[in-house]
Structures are given as structure tokens and as C-alpha cells.
Amino acid sequence: MRRNKSIVRQFPLLLLTVLTLASCYHRKPVTSDALPVQYSAAQLDSISFYSRHHYSENFNFVMKADSLVLLRQQPEESFSELLTTDSLTVRRHDRLVVADIRMLPTDSIDSVWVQVARDQHTIGWVHESDLLPAVDPDDPISQFISTFSDAHLLIFLIIIVVIGFVYLMRKMLRGNAHIVHFNDIDSFYPTLLVLLVASSATFYASIQTFAPDMWRHFYFHPTLNPFATPPILSVFLISVWAILIVGLAAVDDVRHQLPLGEAVMYLCGLAAVCAVDYIIFSLTTLYFVGYLLLMAYVYFALRQYFLHNRAGFFCGNCGAKLHHKGRCPRCGAENL
């Protein structure tokens, strides 16, 4: 009996010893002696074209122009004066896919020909120089960038913003209403928002000036993830997300500090200031003046807020924020 108990007690120690001395055979991974992947000439041409033009076969476009004429025959046939060419037309909002790409060095107009298809019955060739201005990549971010960057829309926005800004300024100054920089509320979010918009517009114009190829690649392959882009674009995307977050915080702070009517008027004025900042800094940065204007604007905005708009006192009677000592505008108590 005692012997059985002794064996039972020693069994865990024996098992631990066996597990310690045991080992597994590790098979080394088999490595291939094959040479690195060899690309054909056609594949190398495709990779080179993609790196320079940022799209390739099977890339999807959507029509933004009213119409685009496609050639049914092969591109070489358009050079022949003896053959009559047949064409077809695609319209606005048609979705196109790149079916083939041809390089014709003898073409004096454009050496790049692109074959696009709307469906299996609507397929034809067109010069790249005619195709790209008439289409956008089939991505909502790319289409937003194209619409927002359109020259006609920008001119229209300038006129509307200037008229609206002048009207709101006149209305607010006459009624002693609140407006950012001049008669602001005690919240740093509106000031931070306009500074973010100004700096983002400056940075946006800088990318287009100094890294146009990077911006073009982003236009063809957009993303809202700042960690999936090069550092320069990451900073820009982070600033865009910051504008959205700070804008929501500003709306919430204004809603709590002002009555509904005054809050709506203040937010309209804030939107007008942001629009003016975007237009001014995005345009002036293209001529390198925007950098000096941005530094001056940051100094002006911070000085206005900390000297005139930041409430440094509280009413001893009702607790309301005061910009200076004296009579409280809420309860009328004197604060010395």
C-alpha cells in the first residue's frame, strides 16, 4: 500500500522529467534556389506606365464631361486617309473601364491611346489627352476633389463668399453680434478651426506646387486613412480630420453659449470666415505669399482671442464669464 502511494507521488516528478528531456524535431524551411521573378517586356512597360500615369488596364472611370467621342477602329487606322473611321459617343455619368493601352510614337497629337469600354457593345479608342479631362476616377473621394478643384466652381465660390461675408459682417457689426476675431465668444474652438482651415489650405497648395505627382497619385488612388499614405499626405489628412473634429466641438460650444438665433448667425459667420481663409491661402500660396500671410494671420488670431475674447474673470454673484471687471451683463452685480 505504501509502495503504491510512493509511486503515485513520484509520477508527477517523472512526467516533468520526461517532458523536460523531450524535444521536437524542427525541420528547416525548404528554400527555393529559383532565380528572382523575371518580368516580360510587356509587364515592365505596364509597370512603367502605371508609375508615370497612375492608372492601368481595368481601371475604372466615370464620365464628368457632357460627351466623349471614341474611335471604333484601331488607332493606326485613324492615320490613313483612305479609310473612313467609325465612332461612338459616351455620355455624362457613364462608367468606363480601361480595356487596353497602346503607345504610338508616330502620332503627332498624343502618343498614348486608351481603349475604354462602357459595356461589351460600347468600346473604342481615344487619346489620353482627350480622355483624362473628361473623366474622373470612379471613387467618391476623387470626384469630390475634382469638383472642389474645378476653376469655374472656385470663381463662383469666391463671388458668393465675398458677398455673403460682407453682408454678414455688416449685419453683425450693426447688431453687436458675435463673430470670430472681432466680437468672439469665450471658446478657443472657433479660433482653432479657422487656423486649421488656413494652415490646411496652405499645405494643400504646397503639395500641389512642390509634389504634384504625389497629389496626382492620391487623386487616382485616394484614401481617408492618414497612416496609409506618405508622410506629407499623412499630415494633410490628419489636418482634414482635425478640421472635422474641431468643427463639431465648435458647434457644440456655440450651441451651449449662445441662444439659438445668435448661434445660427455666429456659425454662418464662422463658415464664411473659413471659406474666405481657404480661398485666400490656397491661392496666395501658389505665388509663395501665403506663407507670410499665414504667419501674420496666426499672430493676429491668437492675439485677438487672448487679449479681447478670452474671459479671465467670473461674476461673484451668478458665476457668468466676464472679459473684464465691472457690472455683470447677466445679473447686474458689480465685480471689483
Domains: count for the chain: 2
| Chain segment 217-272, per-residue pLDDT in tens | 999 999 999 998 999 999 999 999 999 999 999 999 999 888 888 888 888 888 88
253 in Cβ contact with 213 (< 8 Å) = no
214 in Cβ contact with 233 (< 8 Å) = yes
Give domain status of residue 34, yes or no.
no
Per-residue CA distances from 29 to 37, 242, 266, 288, 319 (Å): 20, 48, 68, 58, 74
Give the domain-ending residue among 82, 103, 136: 136
Q: How confident is the model at residue 190 (pLDDT cuts 50, 70, 90)?
A: very high
Say which range, 2-11, 79-88, 272-281, 283-292, has the weakest mean pLDDT: 2-11
Using a pLDDT cut of 90, give the percent of the chain over it: 40
Residue length of the chain: 336
**Which pLDDT does position 198 carry in this prediction?**
95
Q: Is the dihedral of CA 44, 47, 51, 57 positive or negative?
A: positive
Q: Are residues 183 and 330 in the same domain?
A: yes
Q: Domain residues for 84?
A: 41-136
Give domain status of residue 22, yes or no.
no
Q: Is the dihedral of CA 42, 44, 47, 48 positive or negative?
A: negative
DSSP code at position 183:
B
For the beta carbon of residue 332, count every other beta carbon within 10 angstroms. 10
Q: What is the mean pLDDT of the chain?
A: 80
pTM of the shown model = 0.74
Q: How confident is the model at residue 336 (pLDDT cuts 50, 70, 90)?
A: low
- The DSSP bridge partners found for residue 116 are 98, 124
Report the chain's terminal Cα–Cα distance, integer Å: 96
| Chain segment 295-313, per-residue pLDDT in tens | 999 999 999 888 876 665 6
Give domain status of residue 268, yes or no.
yes
